[in-house]
Amino acid sequence: MHLTPHPASGRFDLTGRVAVVTGGTRGLGRAIAGAFSQAGADVVVVSRKAEACEKAAAELRAGGGNAVGHPCHVGQWEELTTLADEIHRQFGRIDVLVNNAGISPTYGRLSDVSEELWDKVIAVNLKGPFRLSALVGERMAAGDGGSIINVSSTGAVRPTADIVPYAAAKAGVNAMTVGLADALGPKVRVNAIMPGPFLTSISKDWDLDKLAQRTEAFPLRRAGEADEIAGAALYFASDASSFTTGTVLAVDGGAQWAMPARM
């Protein structure tokens, strides 16, 4: 007997789900928020600045989606508690959490890295994602389950001299992803996207000539565009990845196979 298969696109449908995206007002976070909205999710855009959150949410609503903004500094422990509580009060649950917010301040010599810079990088890139995952993930596990997506970086596995604190934090994110998958399973899936260089607002500060030289060694010979992160995010957020957890997926144009080079 021939059975009609369920449409493949339906596996990526997020209709009726609540998705929270930190760092969701620009760059990769904004692209992920847009993809989730187009897939039918109610999207909560999180960033430090309230006006930026509302602007991004308004853009998503203008595209036909349901979206709100919530300002929060993800490096501040108590602000994350307030954020999780407020979203649960408003929506009743969180089905998808994307820990995307991140910073990588520049510095000169290694000895120029101050304790303040080090603590700030660890707080935003590692401490915050852990705390928010714990707060949201335990509620997911007590309810109908959900998906947590951490945004790492190929710097975690191919670090260079100019991103040592950031690379250390993102290596921690990779390890944390596997540990959280074990801690929150079987109802909560936890995975990570590990992007290579993408052309976003952050890349405006890069030396693009050096970037071009670096990406020439990549199999795809270029940096990524923000929208090219959407497929991986939709996969992890949706039922398409129902048997995938504890995975760190490189979305990098093959960068992990290229020799590291400074930007």
Q: 51 Cβ partners below 8 Å, 6+ apart?
A: none
Cβ–Cβ under 8 Å, residues 164 and 123: no
Q: What is the DSSP string of 86-118?
A: HHHHHHS--SEEEE--------SSGGG--HHHH
Angle at 212 between CA 211 and CA 215, to 5 degrees: 85
Q: Report the alpha-carbon distance of residue 143 to residue 174 in Å, rounded.
A: 25
On whether the CB atoms of residues 248 and 195 are closer than 8 A, the answer is: no
Query: CA-CA distance, 153 to 157, in Å (whole number)?
Result: 8
CA distance 29 to 68: 14
* CA–CA separation, 69 and 20 (whole Å): 10
Does the annotation count 107 as an active-site position? no
Here the contacts of 108-113 (C-beta below 8 Å, separation 24 or greater) are 110/161, 110/164, 113/164, 113/165
User: Which of the residues 12, 36, 130, 166 is marked catalytic?
Assistant: 166
Residues 6+ apart with CB under 8 A from 10: none
The rounded distance, in Å, linking the Cα atoms of 243 and 253 is 25
Catalytic center residues: 166
